[in-house]
Structure 1
Amino acid sequence: MPESLPESQPEPGSGRKRAALILNPVKPTEEDIRGIVAELSAQEGWDEPLVLETTEDDPGHGQAQEALKAGVDVVIAAGGDGTVRCVAEELAGTTTALGLLPLGTGNLLARNLDIDVDDPRSAVEAALTGTERQVDVVYVNVDRAQDAHVFLVMAGLGFDASIMADTRDDLKDKVGWLAYVDAGIRNLQGKPSKVKITLDGGKRMTRRLRSVMGGNCGKIMGGLEIFPGAKIDDGLLDIMTVAPSGAFGWFAVLGKLVARGKGKDPSLEYFQCKEAEVEVDTPLEIQLDGDALGKGRHMAFRVEPNSLKLRMPYGKKDPAILTNPEP
C-alpha cells in the first residue's frame, strides 16, 4: 500500500483546484477568515486551502514563494495593501492568480477593483470564482539599489510619504483611514525640494515640489480620483507633481484634484510614461502602496505591462480603472 500523502497536499492527478491563504494575523477582524476560505473552497469542490501566516520578519514574500511551490491555483492575500504588495511581488510574472481579502485600513487596490472591503465572504468568492484580468505592475529601484520593489496602486516621494511614515498605528485602529488625515494636517507645513524628473529617457525637468507620485490606478479613500484616467492595464505610469504656492496653496491643489486635473494651475501637474526617474538633493520620505520605506534621494520607475493575474468580481468595472471595463 502506498504511503498516504501529507494532509496539506492535494492528491496528485485529482484535477481539483486549491487556494492558498496568506493571512496577516495582526489585522483586527471579527470574522473567521480561515473558516470562510475553507467553507467556500469546499462549496466550489476545491481542495482544503493551504494557510500561511505572515510574520514581522516576513510580511508575505516567503509565504507567496511557498504557495507557488505548492502549485496552488490562486493566492489570496488577506491583509492590508502592504501584504498585497509583498505577495504580488512574488506572483508577478507567473501564471498564478492573486486574490484579495481586504483587512487593512486603506485597502486601496481592493477599492479600485470594486472588491467589497466590508464583506469577507464576497471578497473570497471573487478570489475563487471571479473574473481574471491581466494587470500592470510597476517596479521601483530606490537609491539605485539592484533589487527592485513593486507597487500596484501608487508610490511617492515627499509629502505623501511623510503622511504614511507619520500615521499613528493606534489611531488607525480607532478611527481607520481618518488617521491619515491627522498625519496629513500635521505635515502640511514644509519647504519644497528641488526635484529632477526624467520621463522615458527624455529631457530632464526641474521643479520645486512638495511631492512626486507615480500611479498605476487612481482612486483613494472616499472615491477621490487623484490620478484621473489612470488605468491598471494600459501599460502606462501616471506621474503627479504637487507644488502648493504659499500658505493657501493646498486649496488650489485640492481644487484641481476635485476637478480631476483640469485647469492650468501649476500646483498640480500630470504626465504619462513607461519609465521615470526622480531625484532630489536632500533625502525625502518614500512610500510604496502606503508602506513607508524610509528616506531616499532617487527613485527609478518601470512599468511591466500585464504581468500579474488578478481575480476580481464579475460585473461592469469602472472605466476609469480598466481599459476594457467589461469582464
Structure 2
Amino acid sequence: MPTDAPSGATTPVPASDAGAQAGAGGRRAALIINPIKATTADVEGAVRRISTEDGWDEPLIIETTQDDPGHGQAREALDAGVDLVIAAGGDGTVRCVAEELSGSGTMMALVPLGTGNLLARNLDIAVDDPDAAVEAAFRGTERTIDVVHLIVDHAQDAHVFLVMAGIGYDAAIMSDTREDLKDKVGWLAYVDAGIRNLPGKPARTTISIDGGQPFERRLRSVMGGNCGKIMGGLEIFPGARIDDGLMDLMTIAPKGKLGWLAVVGKLFARGKGKDPSLEYFQCRTAEVTLREPLDVQLDGDPLGKATHMSFEVRPDSLRLRMPLGFKDPAVVSDPLP
C-alpha cells in the first residue's frame, strides 16, 4: 500500500483567538439549516447567542428545501460574503454545502442533526448535543481537509464527498433503508437494510488505480473513503486520514455462504490478513467500471444506479472547524496534544 507524507494540515487556530478577532473585523456567520430535522435544541438561538457573545454581526439564517438541500443556500451565503457557514442537518445537507464551499476559502462548520452524521462522528463533533456543536463551530480548531470529486457515468459535473462513496452492496443499503424505521431506531435501521440485502450476486468489475493497469474482480461492493468511521464506532477504512491527500479504496467480495463472516472478521482485524474477500488500496485517483448498473451512494445519500465511477482527491480543499482537543491520528495527520 503506497504511503505519502501528509499534505500539510493548517496550523490549528484556537477559536478563542479567532473569536477575539471577529468583533474587530465585523465577522458574520451563516446558518444553513434543514427544518425537517427534529431537534429539541434551538440551533438558531445558539448561533445568534454566540454571534453576539463573540462580537460577530447578526447571522444570516437560511433554510433548505425539498427542491434544494443546500447548494443554493451555500451559494447565497458565499454571495453575502460571510466568514463562516454552518451546515445544520444530516449528511446530505453537509455534503451539499461542502460541495459549494470546496475551494472557496470560506470556513465551514457543522451541527449534526441527522441519523448517520458520518463526518461529525469522524471529527468528534457532538452528535447528540447541538449546543456544543454550535460552540465548536465558532470556537473550535481550524483545519484544512481533503475532499473527493466523483464523476458518475461520465457526467459533465462532479459530485463531492467528505466521508465515503460506493457502488453495490453499501449503496443498496442506503437505498433500501426504511425512513419510518430510522425515525424509530436511528442508525440501527441501516442494519435492517444490510441484512435484507445480504443475498446477491457479485458483479464483474474493472478497477484502475492512479491511472495504472486495470485489473478485474467479481465484487459485491467498491467503496472510496476519505475518512474511516461509521455508525457504532466501526472503522471500515483503517488508518484513513482526512488530510493526507489520499483516498482509500475498499473492495468487498464474499465467497460462498459464509463469505460475509470473512468480510466482517477482516473488518474487525482492521484489514490485516490475506483474505481476498476484503482488499484495500490507497490512491489519488481511481476508476471503477461495472458490466451492469448498481446502486451508488455519496456520504449515505442514494444517487441512483450507474456503471462507472471516477474518483479524484482534491487535497486541502475545504476549511473546516472542529472541536478543540486531541484527534485520533487515524483521522487527521497532526493531532492536537
Q: Which band: TM-score by shorter chain?
A: over 0.9
Q: Is 2:311 the counterpart of 1:308? A: no
Q: How far 1:246 moved relative to its partner? A: 0.7
Are the counterparts in 1 of residues 41 and 131 from structure 2 also a CA contact under 8 Å? no
**CA RMSD of the aligned region, Å?**
1.0
Q: Is 2:333 the counterpart of 1:323? A: yes
User: Residue type matched to 2:166 in 1?
Assistant: G
Inter-CA distance 194–98: structure 2 relative to 1 (3 Å threshold): same
d(CA) in 2 for partners of 1:240, 1:274: 14
Q: Which residue of 2 aligns with 1:5?
A: none
d(CA) in 2 for partners of 1:30, 1:116: 15
Aligned residue among 123, 126, 129 for 1:116? 126
- TM-score w.r.t. the length of structure 2 is 0.92
Q: Is 2:131 the counterpart of 1:90? A: no
d(CA) in 1 for partners of 2:232, 2:308: 31
CA distances 1:4-59 after superposition (whole Å, capped 9, x unpaired)? xxxxxxxxx97221110000011111111111111111111111110000001100
User: Residue type matched to 1:298 in 2?
Assistant: H
Map 1:117-156; keep pairs closer than 5 Å.
117-156=127-166
Map 1:1-327; keep pairs closer than 5 Å.
15-326=25-336
Q: How far 1:191 moved relative to its partner? A: 0.3
d(CA) in 2 for partners of 1:172, 1:97: 31
SS of equivalent residue, structure 1 residue 229: coil
d(CA) in 2 for partners of 1:289, 1:126: 22
User: Residue type matched to 2:226 in 1?
Assistant: N
d(CA) in 2 for partners of 1:185, 1:48: 48
d(CA) in 1 for partners of 2:24, 2:136: 23
User: Residue type matched to 1:88 in 2?
Assistant: A
Q: Which residue of 1 aligns with 2:15?
A: none
Which runs of 5 or more residues in structure 2 are unaligned? Answer: 1-22
User: Residue type matched to 2:27 in 1?
Assistant: K
Q: Which residue of 1 aligns with 2:14?
A: none
User: Residue type matched to 1:74 in 2?
Assistant: L
User: Residue type matched to 1:104 in 2?
Assistant: G
SS of equivalent residue, structure 2 residue 100: helix
SS of equivalent residue, structure 1 residue 106: coil
SS of equivalent residue, structure 1 residue 212: strand
Q: How far 1:201 moved relative to its partner? A: 0.6
- TM-score w.r.t. the length of structure 1 is 0.95
SS of equivalent residue, structure 1 residue 165: helix
SS of equivalent residue, structure 1 residue 156: strand
Q: Which residue of 1 aligns with 2:6?
A: none
SS of equivalent residue, structure 1 residue 293: strand
Identical-pair percentage: 71
CA distances 1:214-249 after superposition (whole Å, capped 9, x unpaired)? 000000011111001110000001000000011111
d(CA) in 2 for partners of 1:31, 1:91: 26
d(CA) in 1 for partners of 2:24, 2:194: 53
Are the counterparts in 1 of residues 43 and 134 from structure 2 also a CA contact under 8 Å? no
d(CA) in 2 for partners of 1:125, 1:46: 13
User: Residue type matched to 1:98 in 2?
Assistant: M
Q: Which residue of 2 aligns with 1:4?
A: none
d(CA) in 1 for partners of 2:36, 2:100: 21
CA distances 1:96-149 after superposition (whole Å, capped 9, x unpaired)? 111010000000100000101111111011111211100000000000001000
SS of equivalent residue, structure 2 residue 25: coil
